[in-house]
A and B are shown apart, each in its own frame.
Chain A
């Protein structure tokens, strides 16, 4: 945590690690969770290829994290970078909303994007 004279998002290239840092909390192999993993991986690969780090956490394995990260709905995706921390809950079938929340403006962001 070196002191930053400016907010992070001004110069993302200088920062270590990938541009997007995403934490996905799932609960084992429930249908919602497996779907969510599949969907988010798909989205990331499609729109953020090479620019993201996705961490998938199974809360069943680490239940203490649930309180720590204030989880209610599952699956939850927490976008830690870039910009403000945002939370998304659901299995990411609504791609437009996911992308909007991620702050990704996609060239495919049209009705066709919903597939």
Chain B
């Protein structure tokens, strides 16, 4: 379908369109209103029909340099000027610059007496003169149906209005005709019969005490268009239409990675962080430190010198900063230096669309690298489920297209089995989903963190216990007990037990060492004893041999002395000895 129309557009000239400049409307109509043709804008009271007309003219002048004529049947030029001044539209100035002409057509039944046949040529002349005098390309007829109250001759009116539209078409001016919505018909007087090129229906509905304005392109001859009902808002800058979904998924992706602000959490991801421009959802039951995780992320972004926009739907900026300071997440500096912007408001302050518009506006204004919304669940208080979902879809789309990393927190009910289901059903839209939950057991609650999904990168499958300390968030190493991963007191017990065991083992080892040393000492003592004994024996033996030697020597000496005393017979004749 899409391919067909795009290939057709390349060969055939497309219906020329006049961009309205109204935020979002040109997207829905795929380029604007049919150029040179009338468009009917109908809706009940208070829908902003007149405003849409005026904005069409003003934007045409300021953005597309197309002069315009406003023919007002209900309000005078002064009233209109005053009414739209709050939107920053200076009709007086535009009139002075001859870019705009406002013609108030006063229709009063009591002043007009019908006396026979007539036509509305006066109107044609006025309009023609106004158009020609400034070279207008755009015309707004603000509630032409008022004529029906002034001129009772309906058949004349009808044929004249038909002629007027034909005439406008021939003049080639892009026209908006506003009309009040009728009972069961688009307009009270059935003007839709005459305007067949483009019909836009505005609607103002109150559901559950919340008003939502919606816009629908009923028909658009010769062009494709968004067919849904699109919520729109009247903001400080005019009308803003929000396409529910961008029709295509073709945003640019980044291969860069941004840290989560918690080093241990980064390690759980294959690429050590989230992809830039992806969307991250942190779900958890109450009190599972979702905000703290979000604040860590915001701090991380700011520390890298990037900008972060933080939407707090629960806490005021001061409260948030104070609370985060208690866990060593310092946000004040970043706020002071303009890297962090905290927007705090109660969700009930505005309708959903208003929130979305605020977001759009701030994102465009602040140009952040990351957006944190804490928590998205609170929005449910101002809309029903499907509305919140569609709004979040739009939001995520918008942020993705802008390449902004989105970080959402969501509160989930602690009910069994549902803990991993966000009510808003946005989990399928996000790229990374981190679940924090209470792990309850043995009389206490502990926080467990796990990654449920992370598109495009490997991630840890472990449930990690994390604690919020004075120094920030810490993820603890996994402690495995006999029944799996243990946390909290069980973990402490387990750790203590392990510690005790280790201690015992160490003591045992030390004891063995001491025993060995003692034995060695004993052995050494024995050896020393034996050696001493040996030495004494040796000594004794040595002494004995010495004595023997001494004795021998003494004997020898004695003998020699005897010999000396009795000289041998050689010198003297031997006596008694045969000297032979």
Residues of A within 8 A of B (CB): 25, 27, 30, 32, 35-36, 39, 59-60, 63-64, 66-67, 70-77, 86-94, 97-98, 101
Which residue of chain A has its CB nearest to the CB of B106?
A70
B567 at the interface (CB under 8 A from A): no
The number of residue pairs between A and B whose CB atoms lie closer than 8 Å in the complex comes to 101
* Option from A32, A66, A75, A77 in Cβ contact (under 8 Å) with B126: A66
**With an 8 A cutoff between CB atoms, is B103 at the interface?**
yes
Known contacts A71-B125, A73-B122, A86-B113, then 13 further A-B pairs from the complex at CB < 8 Å, ordered by chain A residue: A27-B125, A30-B119, A32-B117, A63-B125, A71-B123, A73-B119, A74-B119, A74-B120, A77-B115, A87-B113, A90-B113, A90-B118, A94-B116
Closest 3 CB pairs of A and B: A71-B122, A90-B116, A90-B115
Give the distance to chain B from A68, nearest Cβ to Cβ, in Å.
9
List 15 A–B pairs whose Cβ atoms lie within 8 Å, in order of A's numbering. A39-B116, A59-B121, A63-B129, A67-B103, A67-B126, A72-B105, A72-B107, A73-B118, A74-B121, A86-B113, A88-B113, A88-B114, A90-B114, A94-B115, A98-B115
Which residue of B107, B116, B151 is within 8 Å of A93 (Cβ)? B116
Tell me the complex Cα distance, A27–B106, Å: 20
Interface of A is mostly: mixed
Judge whether A97 and B118 touch: CB under 8 Å.
no
- When the two chains form the complex, which single residue of B112, B118, B128 contacts A91, counting CB atoms closer than 8 Å? B118
List chain B residues, Cβ under 8 A from A59: 121-122, 125
Q: When the two chains form their complex, are residues B126 and A87 in contact, meaning their CB atoms are under 8 A apart?
A: no
Interface residue from B112, B121, B130, B147 paired with A67 (Cβ < 8 Å) = B130
User: A74 to chain B: which residues have CB within 8 Å?
Assistant: 118-122, 125
Contacts of B122 in A (CB 8 A): 25, 27, 59, 66, 71-74, 76
Which listed residue (B113, B128, B130, B151) contacts A97, Cβ 8 A?
Answer: B113
Residue of A nearest to B115 (CB): A90
Query: Would B112 and A27 count as touching, CB distance under 8 A?
Result: no
Q: Which residues of B contact A (CB under 8 A)?
A: 103, 105-107, 111-123, 125-126, 128-130, 147, 150-151
Chain A residues contacting B111 (CB-CB under 8 Å) are 86-87
Q: Chain A residues with Cβ under 8 A from B120's Cβ?
A: 72-74
Report chain A residues within 8 Å CB of B103: 67
CB closest chain-A residue, reference B129: A63
Q: How far is the CB of B105 from chain A (nearest CB, A)?
A: 6
Task: Determine whether the beta carbon of B115 is less than 8 Å from that of A97.
Answer: yes
User: B126 contacts which chain A residues (CB < 8 A)?
Assistant: 63, 66-67, 71
Q: How far is the CA of A97 from the CA of B461 in the complex (A)?
A: 92
- Once the chains bind, are A36 and B116 in contact (CB under 8 Å)? yes
Which of chain B's residues has its CB closest to A25's CB? B122
> Known contacts A73-B151, A89-B112: does B117 contact A66 (CB below 8 Å)?
no
How far, in angstroms, from A92 to B115 measured CA to CA in the complex?
5
B115: contacting residue among A64, A66, A89, CB under 8 A = A89
B108 to chain A: closest CB distance in Å? 9
User: Complex: how many Å from CA A102 to CA B54?
Assistant: 40
Contacting pair A72 B150 (CB below 8 A):
yes
Cα of A31 to Cα of B118 in the assembled complex, Å: 10
Which of B114, B125, B128 gathers the greatest number of chain A CB atoms within 10 Å?
Answer: B125
**What's the Cα separation between A75 and B130 when bound, in Å?**
20
- Inter-chain CA distance A93–B112, complex, in Å, is 16
Instruction: Tell me which residues across on chain B come within 8 A of A30, comparing CB atoms.
Output: 119, 121
A87 to B114, CA, bound (A): 9
A26–B250 Cα gap in the complex (Å)?
61
Of B105, B117, B125, which is within 8 A of A90 by CB?
B117
Residues of B within 8 A of A36 (CB): 116
* Residues from chain A with Cβ under 8 Å of B123 in the complex: 71-72
Considering residues A67, A71, A75, A94, which has the most beta carbons from chain B within 10 angstroms of its beta carbon? A67
Given A70-B105, A72-B122, A74-B119, the answer on whether A89 and B114 have CB atoms closer than 8 Å is: yes
